[in-house]
């Protein structure tokens, strides 16, 4: 994450809204073919994945019995680099036992948050657990964490929009933008 003592401004669009929409539809298509006539719990990670989770859910076909749930987490310690220790601010409301779960995240940076959440949910014995991540920064990866549904690989640059923020701003942008100091 950018240093907090400098300000940032929007630079340019990395992923335009049409490209995001097309890719979300493709991910929903994969989910539709794999969970037909099944029950599925989509677990969005607040707040960054809210818009992605909502768009994805609306593209999942009616034959799938979808529940939506959310978790809120925060990393312990230094905000500029994820320590891997994750504090659960809000847990799922639905019991995970025997459920088909897809954990929906906005972005995988080091992978520490996602792998922590996956381990935590696996310990609850779901019927299945997969991850759906809109953005991945492969250059930043510190831990291996399988992603079954991946939107885009992006370079190691800080991005905002489509649910992603900088200091609480810019989640509402329809496109995904790069930010720069200034
Ligand atoms: P990880 O545990 O994978 O290192 O961290 C994932 C979290 O870092 C994301 O859920 C997000 O909150 C934050 N993050 C990482 N890269 C970016 C980025 O480019 N933009 C924004 N807005 N958040 C990011």
The CATH number linked to 88 is 3.40.50.2020
Question: Three-state DSSP class for 88?
Answer: strand
CA of 141 relative to ligand 1 center, distance in Å: 11
Q: Is residue 26 domain-resident?
A: yes
Atom of ligand 1 nearest to the CA of 116: 2
Q: Is residue 181 domain-resident?
A: no
Q: Is residue 93 domain-resident?
A: yes
Atom of ligand 1 nearest to the CA of 82: 4
Q: Is residue 148 domain-resident?
A: yes
Contact residues of ligand 1, CB 6 A cut-off: 48, 82, 105-114, 158-160, 164-166
Q: What is the mean pLDDT of residues 148-169?
A: 97
DSSP for 116-170, please give it.
HHHHHHHTT--SEEEEEEEEE-GGG--S----SEEEEE--S--EEBTTB-BTTB-
Q: What is the mean pLDDT of residues 58-84?
A: 82
The CA angle 5-158-43, to the nearest 5 degrees, is: 110
3-state helix, strand, coil in the chain (%, to 5): 25, 35, 40
Whether the predicted pLDDT of 78 surpasses 80: no
Average pLDDT, the chain: 93
Whether the predicted pLDDT of 80 surpasses 50: no
CA of 62 relative to ligand 1 center, distance in Å: 32
Catalytic residue positions? Answer: 109
pLDDT category at 88 given cuts 50, 70, 90 is very high
Q: Is residue 111 domain-resident?
A: yes
Q: Is residue 177 domain-resident?
A: no
pLDDT category at 75 given cuts 50, 70, 90 is confident
pLDDT category at 174 given cuts 50, 70, 90 is very high
DSSP for 55-76, please give it.
HHHHTS-TTSEEEEEEEEEEE-
Overall number of domains in the chain: 1
Domain that holds residue 120: 18-156
Residue of 72, 111, 138, 164 with the most ligand 1 atoms within 8 Å of its CB, for mutation: 164
Q: Is residue 174 domain-resident?
A: no
Whether the predicted pLDDT of 3 surpasses 60: no
Whether the predicted pLDDT of 29 surpasses 50: yes
CA of 38 relative to ligand 1 center, distance in Å: 31
pLDDT category at 182 given cuts 50, 70, 90 is confident
The CA angle 176-1-120, to the nearest 5 degrees, is: 90
Q: Is residue 161 domain-resident?
A: no
């Amino acid at each position: 994450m950018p240093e907090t003592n400098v300000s940032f401004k929007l630079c340019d669009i990395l992923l335009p809204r049409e490209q995001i929409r097309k890719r979300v539809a493709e991910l929903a298509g994969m989910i539709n073919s794999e969970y037909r006539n099944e029950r599925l719990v989509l677990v969005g990670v607040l707040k960054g994945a809210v818009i992605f989770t909502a768009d994805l859910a609306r593209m999942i076909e009616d034959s799938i019995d979808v529940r939506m749930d959310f978790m809120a987490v925060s990393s312990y310690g230094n905000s500029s680099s994820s320590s891997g220790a994750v504090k659960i601010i809000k847990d799922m409301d639905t019991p995970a036992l025997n459920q088909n779960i897809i954990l929906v995240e906005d972005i995988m940076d080091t992978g520490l948050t996602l792998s922590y959440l996956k381990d935590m949910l696996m310990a609850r014995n779901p019927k299945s657990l997969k991850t759906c991540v809109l953005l991945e920064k492969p250059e930043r990866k510190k831990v291996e964490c399988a992603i079954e549904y991946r939107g885009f690989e992006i370079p190691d640059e800080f991005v905002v929009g489509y649910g992603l923020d900088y200091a609480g701003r810019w989640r509402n942008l329809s496109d995904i933008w790069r930010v720069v100091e200034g």
